[in-house]
Every structure is written in structure tokens, then in C-alpha cells.
Amino acid sequence: MDNPLENVKNNIAELTAAQRKVADYIIQHPSETAFLTVDQLAREVGTSTTTIMRLTFHLGYTGYSEFQKGMQGVLRNKAAPHTRLETNLQHMDDSDLWGHTVNRHVEQIENMRGLISTDYLDTVVDEVLDAGRIFCTSVRSGLPVGQYLTHGLNRTLGNTQLVIADMSDWIDEVIHMKASDVIIATSFPRYAQRIIDYVKEAKQRNVTVIAITDSYSAPIVEYADYILPCDSSSAAFHNSPVAAMIAADYIISAAAIRNSEKTRERLDEVNNILTNIQYHHNR
């Protein structure tokens, strides 16, 4: 029997916006989906039962019932780590905010690990290593991720720059972009329009787009070649970059290790300059 979760993820790009919203819920809540009726799922997602049925037909199932049986089979065969964590958190003392915060992020990271395979990430790293230029773009809550990626990749590759989409005058730059370039865009709710505008213009020039975002229903997904889903929810009101930072850290580490000889040469040169200008404090 095929894996319905993998089927959903592999066909994300072909779905309509309404179907992607359903797909995102299914991927984020596999245990709930396995036991919800089609009417209950429609209410949870805020869509129609017709949209859900069309999604299952598109994925090759005879209907929602067959799809759901496949989901139940997946859960029987393998209980995902994040499902166990969700169960444990239900019994947590809410007065322990520190423990709740730590557990929440562990859950998010485990969930992300289940959603993004090593092979998929390594394909993303291939695109990064083959890029002529890399543009990391983000705003506000996503900015720490963009800054971290820019610093790490530029130290390794020397071809990366940060574009703050709602401040930088990227319009003058985007007209010179080429198909050999790559954009790594971090986009969290409420999804800044300027990032979408930037990525959309870049796609018209055949630039490869890697999206780090919270869900498959995020607006940037429409223009992305690669999607790294990273839950950005927090215990309070803000978007948390913690899960996205893990994905960013992997990309930086893998790029440096797979390009180790050039990385070593660049780090030696950078260190020589820092030493010459006495950049670091001497105890």
C-alpha cells in the first residue's frame, strides 16, 4: 500500500490553493486526519467537502474513505515521534512555561524532520552549491534566519547576500538575475507581500526559489521550486525562527562539508585578515 502522506507531499505543486490548504492540514496533523470524517476535516480546515474529495481523486484514490484507510495504516505501522510528543504535552502543567517552550520546539523539530527527508535537503544543498549567486531574503520575524544563512553561506561560498525585501531596493537588482541564481526566502505569517513580489519577479527570470515557510498553503509556495516546512508557532503571539534555524544550520553545515577544500581556503584567508586587523579581543 502506498504512503498517503508521501503522496500528498509529492503532489503539492499540482494542487489548487484550496487543495493545498487541506494538504497542509493533513501533513501537519496526520493522526487527526486518520480518524476525522470528511465533514469534520472540512470544518477543521475551513473548506468544503467537495474540495477534499477532489483532492483525494487527484491523488489517485477512489475517495476519502480509501485515502483515510491508507492514513490509518501509516499510523499503525509507525507512530511518528511528534505524535508521541503531542500526547505528552497534553498532560503538561501549563504553569511550567519554560518546560512547555522547550518541549514545543523539540516537537516542531521532530515534526520537521519527518516532513523533510535527507535526500530532499541534499538536493537543496546541490542547488546552493551550484548557484552563481545566492540571495537570502526575509523580513521581520524571518530576518534572523536570512541573516544566519547569509553569514554562513557567504563565509563558505563567497557569493551570498542578504535582501531585506521590504527595505532593499531589490527592483533594480532583480532585472539582472539569471537562471543560475538561487533565492532562499523565509516567509512566516502574516506573509509580507514584498517577499512574494520579489520571488514572483525572480521566477520570471527562471531563478531557483527555496522557500522556508510555515506551511504548504503559504502564498510563497506557488513560486517555490523547493519547500522546507518549518513550524513557526510559539507559546505566545510571535513567529518563532527556531525550527527554521535548524534547517538553515543544516544547509550551512552541508555546504561547508561538501565543499570542504574551498571552505578551508576561504576560512584561512578570512582568519588572516581578522588577525591582521586585530579583530578579536586578546585576553
| 262 CB-near residues (< 8 Å, 6+ apart) | 156, 157
Regions of the chain where pLDDT drops below 50? 1, 78-81, 83-85, 87-88
Residue 187 is predicted with a pLDDT of: 92
Express each pLDDT in 116-144 by its tens digit.
889 999 999 999 999 999 999 998 889 99
Are 251 and 157 contacting, i.e. CB atoms less than 8 angstroms apart? no
Residue 86 is predicted with a pLDDT of: 54
Residue 180 is predicted with a pLDDT of: 94
Express each pLDDT in 240-271 by its tens digit.
899 999 999 999 999 999 888 888 888 888 88
Instruction: Give ∠ CA 97-105-30 in degrees, rounded to 5.
Output: 115
Residue 265 is predicted with a pLDDT of: 84
Global confidence as pTM: 0.71
SS3 category, 53: helix
Are 74 and 5 contacting, i.e. CB atoms less than 8 angstroms apart? yes
Report phi then psi at 136, rounded to 5.
Answer: -95, 120
Are 196 and 137 contacting, i.e. CB atoms less than 8 angstroms apart? no
Residue 255 is predicted with a pLDDT of: 92
Residue 245 is predicted with a pLDDT of: 95
Q: Which three cell numbers stand for residue 90?
A: 497534553
Q: Which three cell numbers stand for residue 114?
A: 519527518
SS3 category, 135: strand
Residue 142: DSSP 8-state = G
